Chains A and B, each alone.
Chain A
Amino acid sequence: SAVISQKPSRDICQRGTSLTIQCQVDSQVTMMFWYRQQPGQSLTLIATANQGSEATYESGFVIDKFPISRPNLTFSTLTVSNMSPEDSSIYLCSVGPTSGTDTQYFGPGTRLTVL
């Protein structure tokens, strides 16, 4: 399985500012995914980060609000732009597919609080 790290692990931000979250994998992976997990909720996929092309966003998420970079096969960033308290969530990075399955492995998450 891949080892995934995220930075920062948590942050408290002011309304209207932006935060960039980094996701680093210890091996090259085809796909990287960004999820949001609001308090007490399940996971919602924000987008799939593709190396060398634009990210693919899910319904309800737009590039202007959540710009994503994927400069190589081991690294991706997610920016949460112009934040509001409603953006307070855990943001999770995952990688896949692996071992011929759709299995995803997750980073430890970034806990974001917007005041």
Chain B
Amino acid sequence: GEDVEQSLFLSVREGDSSVINCTYTDSSSTYLYWYKQEPGAGLQLLTYIFSNMDMKQDQRLTVLLNKKDKHLSLRIADTQTGDSAIYFCAESKGNYQLIWGAGTKLIIKP
């Protein structure tokens, strides 16, 4: 079946790196996504990775894809208070629809 799983919470200290993990089930997914949702706001696209890549870096963000294990991760370097949000992992179904994880709430400790 189609399923995307994420841990519900992650707590890190300001300045440390955050690593948010996601597992998915559909090996035919072409794109995998990370979205960020701040309190009271819509979803903001952070980054996406094509399934034939294993890594993508964009400033403080690093996405790692292990296609064999169907595991996706988002690393945020030097985590700041502004990174406090819920982070959603999503995979493409191939018919322009996305399958969504439950979201990981990132909590920043001072």
Contacts and interface: CB of A to CB of B under 8 A. Distances in A.
Interface residues of A, number: 24
B48 A103 contact: yes
Interface in B21-76: 30-31, 33, 35, 40-45, 48, 50
Contacts of B100: 42-43
Nearest to B94: A102
B45 A1 contact: yes
A67 interface: no
Interface string A84-107: 000000001010110001111111
A101 B48 contact: yes
Interface string A104-115: 111111010000
Give me the 9 closest cross-chain CB pairs, A-B, nearest first: A102-B92, A106-B42, A106-B43, A108-B42, A109-B42, A42-B102, A43-B100, A97-B96, A42-B100
